[in-house]
Amino acid sequence: MATIAIDTRRRIDAIDPNIYGNFIEHLGRCIYGGVYDPGSPLSDERGFRKDVMEAVQRLRVPNLRWPGGNFVSGYHWMDGIGSKENRPRRMELAWHTVETNQFGTDEFIEYCRAVGTEPFICVNMGSGTMDEAQNWVEYCNGSEDTYYANLRRQNGHEEPYGVKQWGLGNEVSGSWQIGHKEADEYARAALEFAKVMKWVDPNIQLIACGSCHQDADDMTFNRVVVEKLIDIAEYLSIHMYVNNRDDNYYEYMGTSEHIEKYIRAVRGIIDGAVYHSRHGKKMKIAFDEWNATYSFPHEHPHHQRYTLEDALVVGMFLNAFIRHADAIKIANMAQLVNVIPPIFTSPEDMFLQTIFYPLELYTCENGTVALDAYCDCETFETKRYGKVPYLDVSASFEPDRNRISISVINRHLTDTIPVTIENQHGGLADKGTLFEINGEDIKTVNDFKEKGNVVTQKREINVPSNPFVLELPPHSISMVQAFLNVTM
Ligand code: AHR
């Protein structure tokens, strides 16, 4: 029998809703054909796909990162404003395509307003200049009688957009990036970009670009960037993509160890730099690209279908973000629609992939304060990570509703695991709710013709005692919600 114990006094930190963010890039059919499809009978008068917007609203996306990704390192934002007929068609070198610039800053902000999310703009630190970044902040946020603020007004937008989150480039450490830079080179440039951007609007928050992978060089890159930018940038961006290309279920299920170790290592770098920083301000982590992924659209035009096992891995990312709620304050699943996506469209239809469901569940149902859950259970053996517990757990609390939520992934391929759940401080009310994501087997997918193979099931449960026992089916994500019966 496994055990999970929580105590509402054992709090990690407030969970920042921004950890449930998402990302759209000018890549494949993410924007053109996903978000924006003018002329489609499924789109509104602005060209926004209505079915996609409905799905996005279900995800309650708190912030949306744009325009890239690798794309941003060759993007000049002035190409994407003003009358659409006059916008240039450009050769696009990140993904070797043509960028029509029909979707630019004003369309992005309008989309954010339409789906109720905050814009997060990443600036071009590849081929872009400091002036461009500075002017982009002014175009979006300027309130005075100045050139770029007036340009926004001329384009029909009197009020400043008030964009808060600004990324200082994307994956600059990667040799594939347009304008790739070594750590020192990037950190020096980013400091200067940061200065002018904050001089234009001191209220913005900056996300410095950290590593795209997790090897030793990437860690050095992170260290240099953190040390140089800790006094000016609020966040360090890190990325992680994982996959089961080897088709080894239990190795893939060990991904939680990879995520966990990496987060701890990055936290260590930040802690070290805080110790020496001028004002001791703690940089936070923006995990602003993460997902399971197999191929990008240029490699594989039909895209992958996500399986149930990928959904479990998405749950593991989310559990890790909750367990590190004191360090991770932004995270963005990559990407929202059609490119390694939770939402997938055709010209006539749309379906929700398996990975949509854990993201929706955590965003909508998790508590607001992360708890430090105790878990004891059996383990499985992996080559890469050694012994890994069958259960991957996070817990949260919502003080306003006196409600705890415990999210557990049972990674056992065949066995149901009974678990004793104990609230160690106070009692539990007799009714609770159980959400469960599961499917026939780990390779189950959703598709246009079979949209509901993997979805979230919800049911009311009895909580007869404290502790109580819950049966966790194999290869499943369960979130149990219970109410405390005393006021804490
Ligand atoms: O999300 C797809 C790509 O993955 C992004 O453009 C890039 O930042 C990352 O390598």
At 427 the pLDDT is 93
**Residue 11 belongs to some domain of the structure:** no
Same domain, 90 and 235: yes
Which residue is catalytic, options 234, 257, 289, 365?
Answer: 289
pLDDT surpasses 60 at 48: yes
Residue pLDDT, tens place only, 405-430:
999 999 999 999 999 999 999 899 99
Closest CA to 240 of 314, 175, 190, 167: 314
Same domain, 350 and 415: no
Same domain, 457 and 359: no
Last residue of a domain, one of 319, 351, 366: 366
- CA 441 to each of CA 312, 333, 412, 426, 454: distance values in angstroms, whole numbers, following the listed order: 12, 24, 12, 38, 10
Q: Return the ligand 1 atom nearest residue 95 CA.
A: 6
At 47 the pLDDT is 98
Q: By residue range, what is the domain housing residue 468?
A: 371-484
Q: Residue 123 Cα, ligand 1 centroid: separation in angstroms?
A: 15
What tokens does 261 get? 């170790």
**Residue 276 belongs to some domain of the structure:** yes
d(CA 186, CA 176): 15
pLDDT surpasses 80 at 133: yes
Q: Is 288 in the pocket of ligand 1 (CB under 6 A)?
A: no
Q: Residue 70 Cα, ligand 1 centroid: separation in angstroms?
A: 6
**Residue 100 belongs to some domain of the structure:** yes
**Residue 8 belongs to some domain of the structure:** no
Mean pLDDT of all residues belonging to the chain? 95
Same domain, 299 and 395: no
pLDDT band at residue 278, thresholds of 50, 70 and 90? Answer: confident
- Give the domain CATH number at 285: 3.20.20.80
At 299 the pLDDT is 58
Q: Residue 153 Cα, ligand 1 centroid: separation in angstroms?
A: 33
Same domain, 53 and 197: yes
In the chain, how long is the greatest CA-to-CA distance? 68
Last residue of a domain, one of 366, 383, 417: 366
pLDDT surpasses 80 at 192: yes
- What whole-number percentage of the chain has pLDDT above 90? 92
**Residue 109 belongs to some domain of the structure:** yes
pLDDT surpasses 60 at 338: yes
227 catalytic, yes or no? no
Same domain, 104 and 196: yes
- Residue 119: count other Cβ atoms within 10 Å of its Cβ: 21
Same domain, 379 and 247: no
Q: Are 328 and 421 in contact (CB under 8 A)?
A: no
pLDDT surpasses 90 at 394: yes
Same domain, 351 and 405: no
> Residue 55 in 3-state DSSP?
helix
Last residue of a domain, one of 366, 385, 401: 366
- Give the domain CATH number at 405: 2.60.40.1180
Tokens 């990496």 belong to residue: 262
pLDDT surpasses 70 at 141: yes
Same domain, 379 and 362: no
Q: Is the dihedral of CA 135, 139, 145, 150 positive or negative?
A: positive
Spatial strand order of the sheet with 428-438 comes to 11-14, 369-371, 391-398, 403-410, 476-484, 428-438, 455-462
Same domain, 129 and 176: yes
Q: Which of 168, 170, 293 to mutate to test the pocket of ligand 1 (most atoms within 8 A of CB)?
A: 170
**Residue 10 belongs to some domain of the structure:** no
Q: Is 244 in the pocket of ligand 1 (CB under 6 A)?
A: no
138 catalytic, yes or no? no
Same domain, 339 and 385: no
Residue pLDDT, tens place only, 288-322:
999 998 766 555 544 679 999 999 999 999 999 99
pLDDT band at residue 441, thresholds of 50, 70 and 90? Answer: very high
At 300 the pLDDT is 57
d(CA 365, CA 368): 10
Which residue is catalytic, options 92, 171, 257, 365?
Answer: 171
**Residue 422 belongs to some domain of the structure:** yes
Residue pLDDT, tens place only, 83-131:
999 999 999 999 999 999 999 999 999 999 999 999 999 999 999 999 9
Q: How many domains does the chain have?
A: 2
Same domain, 173 and 288: yes
Closest CA to 425 of 467, 480, 376, 365: 467
Who contacts 344 (Cβ-Cβ below 8 Å, separation ≥6)? 303, 337, 338, 350, 351, 352, 353
Which residue has the CA at smallest separation from atom 9 of ligand 1? Answer: 69
**Residue 1 belongs to some domain of the structure:** no
d(CA 375, CA 421): 9
Q: Looking at this protein, which amino acid is placed at residue 157?
A: H
At 486 the pLDDT is 66
